[in-house]
Amino acid sequence: AQTVTQSQPEMSVQEAETVTLSCTYDTSESDYYLFWYKQPPSRQMILVIRQEAYKQQNATENRFSVNFQKAAKSFSLKISDSQLGDAAMYFCAYRSVIQGAQKLVFGQGTRLTINP
């Protein structure tokens, strides 16, 4: 079974600076999807960025980018130019590409605080 581990329960960063959230996972599959989700306080969880394991190029979405190290099974999220609205719980998640697979396996989450 796949597992996802986020070793940083809490992180904080000064506004406008850069922060990196860590995620490692364990799987025996060679192809899969990885995701970062953001859950602001009392608001809905939304997808921040996704990475397909067969793609070597790291995904980027505006100020959000990932460092995908397949051999190390590492998938970190970098947030550049942090903004107050980035404060949230961030969850790393894994999904298999097996036909019909729908289950998302989540990490424990990292609470990110932005200091003004």
Partner 1 sequence: ETGVTQTPRHLVMGMTNKKSLKCEQHLGHNAMYWYKQSAKKPLELMFVYNFKEQTENNSVPSRFSPECPNSSHLFLHLHTLQPEDSALYLCASSQRSGGPQMEQYFGPGTRLTVT
86 neighbors 114 (Cβ within 8 angstroms): yes
Residue 42 is a binding residue for partner 1 (CB under 8 A): yes
Q: What are phi and psi of 85, to 5 degrees?
A: -70, -5
Paired with 5 in beta bridges are 24
**Count of H-run helices and E-run strands, the chain:** 0, 12
Minimum distance from residue 107 beta carbon to partner 1 (Å):
6
**Span interacting with partner 1, options 11-19, 63-71, 72-80, 93-101, rule CB under 8 A:** 93-101
Minimum distance from residue 16 beta carbon to partner 1 (Å):
26
Residue 16 is a binding residue for partner 1 (CB under 8 A): no
6 neighbors 105 (Cβ within 8 angstroms): no
Please return the burial class of 82, using the count of CB atoms within 10 Å of its CB with bins 0-12, 13-18 and 19+: buried
Binding mask 94-113 for partner 1 (x = CB under 8 A): ---x-xxxxxxxxxxx----
| Residues 57-86 interacting with partner 1 (rule: CB under 8 A) | none
**Residues of the shown chain interacting with partner 1 in the complex, contacts defined by CB under 8 A:** 4, 9, 33, 37, 42-47, 50, 52, 91, 97, 99-109
